[in-house]
A and B are shown apart, each in its own frame.
Chain A
């Protein structure tokens, strides 16, 4: 495997604009590891590309902590389920890093059906001077061996090796939408539309089913699981979101099958907003615990909401991402955009939340100052080391010079996947097949 100068480049310099996008290159997930040193991306072609942050060096002040390709490997291949005559897509749905326990790094990557554990190791030394073998590894003529020599480790060019250590297959009938590593570092869970399974990282031939919402009669199906996550500190707690917009917090100590929730977080629907598409836009596409473990962040089609674990009746904060789309829901239903699943992210101190939108815009909301900003991830507007200019979508009324009107938004340019460095103000934005990494140099410390 090794390193591979990939077709996908980090936007550090102005690149030739490709007018078409190979579908396999579309980034489908982005995830920082626990230190932020590594950034993993998965794409529709089943590949994983890992970027590593270069250590800051005084000699080259311009390349302070920039991310370069560290490793590329093919995680999943397309498969065919002969029993159901269905093709299983190789698209990587989620990547989650395991906490680092030794020199090697490990991550879980999953497509619709199979989760794999990958181990990433570095090799920067190799043994030289074998007693019985020559330079190419062939056995020496024994008559020429007159003395004993012991092999010595000599430095070599860094080689990154990736190997699949576990394959967790056949656990899911429906499409896997999320995986989450438990804080106990021994187990993890995987969720599909109707079930959630608990796995042990070392055991691949069985898993425990901990949530099952499949009705006895599929005709009675009214909601599906859309995302799930373990609590960051309490290894017995996890949350899962549903297509109806509710969150269920479950305690694994209560029962083996956690169909009964411990807490149900649900906001009553606003009857004045009712439309044909109310159910679709209330479906939660992503749920993330805050780093503190006190709050949860959810994303539905038009808003992001912050929930307090202690209050089930309604979210404590609601932020409008692109409310101007509310009157366009029918068109967005026709072109399938209404089904887009946007992700959301917390910053390291849980003071700012971020999520993507259309036209390669992404939004950040400061929970303390209540200020928000819209930024754009595109080659035209972000030369290296340039400061991102806030953008504005005008919805009628006074229009400023650089405003974009709602009708000129490009709905094919959507930012579904974003990630925030666990400690610093560095964000990774996936815009179709391009990865943008933005760093806040001025305010590097967290507020």
Chain B
């Protein structure tokens, strides 16, 4: 259970870092964001492979997403829009909203957030280097093979929402 809590905490911290990197001076640092995404992936694997019951229930497909990342204001996002883009718009409209958005990220539907980011990392998982690293995570290779994003949310819907890849490509 502690692994799950620790992983959850690391996921929250990582998401906060990715969010902050969008607003920091000098633009997105690709190297740092890549490292954070690797940590996010590892934490997600631990979180999802831990046999303890989930801390949060995965909500129905329609209600997740923006509520977790973008924060309350400005209504619902346009379908298919990137949740990561929302914080930037929000921070322009309401500087105070940024803090609220961060808070919501930490306490919101983490499992769904994990899935959202998880689908974008499918490339990372499939193209793992041939040598030691992935194989070393012995017990985690099971869920890894089974596209962990599927456990929580609808796979086809997730494919449309690739906040991380959108962020990278935009950069």
Chain A interfacial positions (CB closer than 8 Å to B): 81, 84, 86-89, 91, 112, 174-175, 177, 193-194, 217-224, 226, 243-244, 268-269, 271, 274, 276-280, 283, 330, 333-334, 336, 339
Contacts and interface: CB of A to CB of B under 8 A. Distances in A.
Contacts of B38: 279-280
Nearest to A177: B31
A224 B36 CA distance: 13
Given A217-B123, A268-B131, A84 B39 contact: no
A114 to B, nearest CB: 13
Contacts of B42: 276, 279
B25 A339 contact: no
Nearest to A338: B35
Q: Which of A220, A221, A276, A278 has the most CB of B within 10 A?
A: A276
B132 A269 contact: yes
Contacts of B13: 333-334
A282 B102 CA distance: 29
B35 A86 contact: no
A222 B131 CA distance: 14
The 8 closest A-B pairs by CB, nearest first: A86-B27, A89-B26, A220-B123, A218-B168, A219-B165, A219-B123, A271-B136, A193-B30
What is the predominant secondary structure among interface residues of chain A facing chain B? loop
B35 A218 contact: no
Contacts, number: 91
B25 A283 contact: no
Nearest to A81: B27
Interface string B1-42: 000001100100100010000000111011110110011001
B39 A269 contact: no
A339 B27 CA distance: 16
A243 B132 CA distance: 16
Given A87-B25, A276-B43, A279-B39, A224 B34 contact: yes
Contacts of A269: 132-133, 136
Contacts of B123: 217, 219-220
Contact of B25 (A89, A217, A278): A89
Given A219-B162, A268-B131, A280 B26 contact: no
Contacts of A283: 31, 35
A224 B37 CA distance: 13
Contacts of A87: 25-27
A223 B162 CA distance: 20
A283 B38 CA distance: 12
A274 B138 CA distance: 12
Given A243-B34, A276-B7, A276-B10, 8 more contacts: A175-B31, A219-B123, A221-B168, A222-B124, A224-B34, A269-B133, A279-B42, A334-B13
Contacts of A91: 26
B151 to A, nearest CB: 20
Nearest to B35: A280
A378 B151 CA distance: 54
B120 interface: yes
B169 interface: yes
B127 to A, nearest CB: 6
Contacts of B35: 243, 279-280, 283, 339
B30 A175 contact: yes
Given A175-B29, A330-B10, A219 B131 contact: no
Given A87-B25, A279-B39, A222 B127 contact: yes
Given A219-B162, A333-B13, A339-B32, A277 B26 contact: no
Contacts of B39: 276-277, 279-280, 333
A318 B52 CA distance: 40
Contacts of B6: 330
A268 B43 CA distance: 22
Contacts of B164: 219
A176 B90 CA distance: 30
A402 B50 CA distance: 45
Nearest to A277: B39
A279 B38 CA distance: 7
Nearest to B169: A218
A386 B120 CA distance: 56
Nearest to B26: A89
Q: Which of B29, B35, B124, B137 has the most CB of A within 10 A?
A: B35
A243 to B, nearest CB: 6
A274 B38 CA distance: 13
A283 B36 CA distance: 12
Interface string B141-171: 0000000000000000000001011001101
